Chains A and B, each alone.
Chain A
C-alpha cells in the first residue's frame, strides 16, 4: 500500500477520560495512545482487564460516555472527534461489541435491514438482501430461523458473537474494531469468528483486534501487535510479540519491571 494515502486509522497522543451522568469529566483512562493502522492490515491490541481496551474501542465509535481530552484520532485523514455515532458507521467504521445488547421485540431481520439501509444510505431490495443473508448464515453455521428471533434476546454467548459477525459481514466495514470477540467462545465458535474476520480482509480494509488472549491470533494472524497497560501502549511489535505475552504474561512489560 502506498504511503501517500492517509492511513485508515491514525491515533496520536490520544487521551480519553470518562464523562459521568452529571457531566463531570473523570480521571484519564487513555493516557496518550499513538498508533497507525494502514489499509490491508490487522492490528492486535492486547492488554489485561482494566487496561483501557474497551475504552479505546468505544471512543473510536463515539460513545457519549467518553471525552477526548487530548491528542487526535483520524480515520482516513479526518478527525473523528465530534462526528455522530451513526455517521461513523456510515463512513465505514464498525464496532463489534464485547457485550452486544439485547433488543427485545426487535426482529433480527428488521434490525439488519434497517442497519444496512442506514449505512448504505439506500434501501436494500429484498431480492438482494435475502440471498446475501442466506450466504452468510450458512458460512456462520446459523439456522435460517435465527432471522425471526429478537436481537440478542436470550442468545447464548456464542450466538451473540455470531450475530455480531453476521452484522459485520453484511456491512463490510472499512475499519472493524473487534472488542474481545474471542472471549467466552469454544474452539469451534472461535474458528467461525476468525474465518469471518479473515473473509473481510482486503487491501482496502483494516481490522483492530482487541483481545486479552493470544488464542485468536493463531487464526487471525496480525501484522502488528500492541500491548496496552494502564492506558498506554507499552510495547509494539510483530506477531511473535503476542506469543511472548502469552508465555510471559503482562507483568514484565509494566513500567519499572525488569
Chain B
C-alpha cells in the first residue's frame, strides 16, 4: 500500500530488507519439514516402475491372504487400462512418469510399539516433526508411516481394553481379516478411478480403525505420513469403521523433503459410519511442492450417523481430492469443511461430493480457497439428491480469496437433484483483500503483511476453529510462512 505520493528511498530499502528476510523464512519448509534422511541403511527399495512382478513381490512380502493378492493384480489391470482423467489438471497429470517411481520402499523391517524400537534415524525424523511430543500431550494413539510402512504405532491402554482397534492396515488385515474382508474396498472399489486402482494394486500402510458399539473415543487418534525418498510413491490405505453409536476423531498429517523431481502420494480412505455413530476425519496436508497428491476419500453414513471431513490442503504441486459422503440412512448428516491454499506453482483442485440417498439427510459443505503468487485454486463439487430422499437439506458455500492479480480461482459446482421435496442452498463468493480493509487495519498500527495475514486468518477461521488447539496454532503458523515466504 503506497500512501500519498509513494515510499521514500529509506522505506524502499527497509521494505527490501524485510522482503529478503521473509524469503529466508519462506525457506523454512526445507529446514522444518524438507530435510532428507540418509537411505543407506534402508531395508528394501523396489526398482523403479510398475508391473505384476512388483505387485506380486509386495503381496508375497506381506504374506497376504490369497484374496488380497488377487485383488491387487486385478486392480493393476484396471489401472493400466484406465485412461488418465481428462479433467482437473490434465497437463500436470500427463507429466507423471509412472515408470520413474519407486512403488515400495521400506526403511526398516521392524515396527515399534515404543519409539525406542524405531530405527534411530527414523525416530529422529519424527522427533523433529514433533510427533512423540504431540502423542504425549494430547493424542489417544499414533501411527507413523515412513515411506511405505508404518514404523510405529501405539494406542492408549484404556482404549485397547474397550476393544478399540487402531493399527496399521497391514496388521489390521492380518489380525482382523474377517472385518477387513467384509468392508475393504466396498466404499471405494478399485475401478472407481485410475488412482484408486493404482492404490489397490500397490497399497501399503495406512490405518485400520474399528470402534466398537457405543464406545466414544474422546481424544484424537493421529496418523502421520512421511515420504523421504526421491521419486517415491506412497500408497497408504485407510479403513475406519465406527460401529453403532460410537464416536472417533482421526487426524492425519503429512510432509516430505523438497526434491527437484516429483513424488506421488495416492491414498484411498474409506469410512463406514454405522447407525448413530460419528466420525470426524481431519487432514492437514502439507506436502512439499514436488508431491502429486491424488487421493480418494469417501464415507458411507448410515441412519442418524454423522461424518465430518475437515480437510486442509497447503502443500503439494497438484492436489486432486474430493472427500465424499454417501448418506444412505435416514437423517444421516455430512459436514465437509475444507481450506486450500495455493501458492506459487501450486494447483489445489479440491472439493467435495455429497450423495443423498435416504430421506431427511442433511449436508453442509463449506469450502475456503486462498490463492497467491500465481497459485491456482479450484473448487469442484457435486451434490446429488436421489429420488426418494425426501426432506433432504443441502447447504453449499464456497468462498475464494485471491491475494494478487496473477492468482486464480475457479468454482465448478454441480447439482443433480432428482427429488422435489428438498431444500438446496448454494452460495459462492470471490473476494480480494480490499484496499479499504488494509487501510483500516494499517491505520491501527498493523503493517501491510500483518494486516493481510489477519484477513487471511479471519477468512479461514470457520475452519481453524474446528481444529484441536495445537493444530489451529500450527495451521496459522504454516499460513504465516506461506504468506511471508513469497513477499517481494
- A-to-B contact residues, CB < 8 Å: 58-59, 61-68, 80-86, 88-90, 94-95, 97, 100-101, 103-106, 110-111, 114-119, 150, 167, 171
Instruction: State the CA gap A162–B4 with chains docked (Å).
Output: 29
A88 to B11, CA, bound (A): 14
Given contacts A82-B3, A82-B6, A85-B3, contact A65 B435 (CB under 8 A): yes
A108 CB to nearest B CB, Å: 12
Residues of B within 8 A of A114 (CB): 446, 450, 454
**Which range holds the interface residue count of chain B?**
20 to 34
Kindly state the separation between the CA atoms of A119 and B457 in the bound complex, as whole angstroms: 21
B445 touches A115 (CB 8 A): yes
- Interfacial chain A residues near B445, Cβ < 8 Å: 86, 89-90, 115-119, 171
Determine whether the beta carbon of A101 is less than 8 Å from that of B8: no
The residue from A85, A110, A111, A117 contacting B443, defined by CB atoms under 8 A apart: A85
Q: Select which of B7, B447, B455 is within 8 A of A86 by beta carbon.
A: B447
List residues of chain A with CB within 8 A of the CB of B40: none
Instruction: Enumerate the 3 nearest inter-chain pairs by beta-carbon distance, A residue then B residue, closest first.
Output: A105-B458, A118-B445, A105-B461
29 pairs from A and B in contact (CB 8 Å cutoff): A62-B4, A63-B439, A64-B435, A64-B439, A67-B5, A81-B3, A82-B4, A82-B5, A82-B8, A84-B1, A85-B1, A85-B3, A85-B439, A85-B442, A86-B442, A89-B443, A89-B444, A103-B440, A103-B455, A104-B458, A104-B461, A105-B458, A105-B461, A106-B458, A111-B444, A119-B444, A119-B445, A150-B458, A171-B445
B5 touching A68 by the CB < 8 A rule? Answer: yes
Given A67-B5, A84-B1, A84-B11, the answer on whether A61 and B459 have CB atoms closer than 8 Å is no
Q: How far is the CB of A124 from chain B (nearest CB, A)?
A: 12
In-complex Cβ contact of B446 among A81, A104, A118 (8 A): A118
- Among the interface residues A64, A105, A150, which one has the most CB atoms of the partner chain B within 10 A? A105
A66 to B447 alpha-carbon distance, docked (Å): 19
CB-defined contacts of A83 to chain B, threshold 8 Å: 3
With a cutoff of 8 Å between Cβ atoms, the chain B residues found around residue A150 in the complex are 458, 461
B-chain residues with CB within 8 Å of residue A171 when the two chains form the complex: 444-445
Using a CB–CB cutoff of 8 Å, the interface residues on chain B facing chain A are 1-8, 11, 435-437, 439-448, 450-451, 454-455, 457-462
CA distance A181 to B11 in the complex (A): 33
Determine the chain B residues whose CB is within 8 A of the CB of A68 once the complex forms: 4-5
Contacts of A88 in B (CB 8 A): 3, 443
Q: Which of B1, B4, B7, B11 has the most CB of A within 10 A?
A: B4
Nearest A residue to B463 via CB reads A105
B308 to chain A, nearest CB (A): 20
Q: Is B3 a contact partner of A62 (Cβ separation < 8 A)?
A: yes
A115 x B444 contact (CB < 8 A): yes
Instruction: Give the distance in Å from the alpha carbon of A119 to the alpha carbon of B444 in the complex.
Output: 7
**Contact of A81 (CB < 8 Å), options: B5, B11, B455, B457:** B5
Shortest Cβ distance from B295 into chain A, in angstroms?
Answer: 27
CB <8 Å contact, A118 and B444: yes
Query: Which residue of chain B has its CB nearest to the CB of A69?
Result: B5
Classify the interface of chain B: helix, strand, loop or mixed.
Answer: helix
Residues of B within 8 A of A90 (CB): 445
Min CB distance, B15 to chain A, in Å? 9
Report whether A105 and B450 are in contact in the complex, using a CB–CB cutoff of 8 Å: no
| Chain A CB within 10 Å, residue with most, of B437, B441, B445, B458 | B445
Known A67-B5, A86-B446, A90-B445: A105·B460 in contact at CB below 8 Å: yes
Q: A81-B3, A82-B8, A118-B444 are in contact. List 5 more A-B contacts (CB 8 A).
A: A64-B3, A67-B4, A84-B11, A85-B443, A105-B459
Nearest-Cβ distance from residue B169 to partner chain A, whole angstroms:
37
Q: CB distance B440 to A101 under 8 Å?
A: yes
Whole-angstrom CA separation of A90 from B446 in the bound complex = 9
- Chain A residues within an 8 Å CB radius of B450: 114, 118
Q: Given A103-B454, A104-B458, A114-B450, do A81 and B442 touch, yes or no (CB 8 Å)?
A: no
Decide if A64 touches B440 in the complex (CB within 8 Å): no
| A64 touching B459 in the complex, CB below 8 Å, given contacts A101-B437, A111-B454, A118-B450 | no
Q: Are B443 and A95 in contact (CB under 8 A)?
A: yes
Report chain B residues within 8 Å CB of A63: 3, 439
Closest to A94 in B: B443
Contacts of B459 in A (CB 8 A): 104-105
Q: Whole-angstrom distance from the CB of A45 to the nearest CB of chain B?
A: 18
B447 cross-chain contacts in A, Cβ below 8 A: 86, 118
Whether A115 lies near B4 (C-beta < 8 A) is no
Which of A66, A104, A110 has the most chain B CB within a 10 Å cutoff? A104
Q: Which of A85, A89, A90 neighbours the largest number of chain B CB atoms within 10 Å of its CB?
A: A85
Inter-chain contact B440/A89, CB cutoff 8 Å: no
Query: A65 contacts which chain B residues (CB < 8 A)?
Result: 435
Docked CA distance A62–B438 (Å): 12
Q: Determine which of A58, A81, A82, A103 lies in contact with B458 in the assembled complex, contact meaning CB atoms within 8 Å.
A: A103
- CB-nearest residue of chain B relative to A106? B458
Contacts of B457 in A (CB 8 A): 105-106
- Shortest B312–chain A CB gap in Å is 15
Q: How far is the CB of A104 from chain B (nearest CB, A)?
A: 6
The one of A81, A86, A89, A97 in contact with B4, judged by C-beta atoms closer than 8 angstroms, is A81
Is there an interface contact between A105 and B462, defined as CB atoms closer than 8 Å? yes
Q: How far is the CB of A16 from chain B (nearest CB, A)?
A: 9
Return the chain B residue nearest A95 by Cβ: B443
Closest to B459 in A: A105
Q: Give complex CA distance A66, B442 in Å.
A: 16
Nearest neighbor of B10 in chain A, beta-carbon distance? A82
Q: Tell me if A101 and B436 are in contact (CB < 8 A).
A: yes
Residues of B close to A97: CB separation below 8 A: 440, 443
**Is B446 within 8 A of A115, CB to CB?**
yes
Contacts of A115 in B (CB 8 A): 444-446
**Within the assembled complex, what's the spacing in Å between the Cα atoms of A62 and B440?**
11
**Min CB distance, B159 to chain A, in Å?**
34
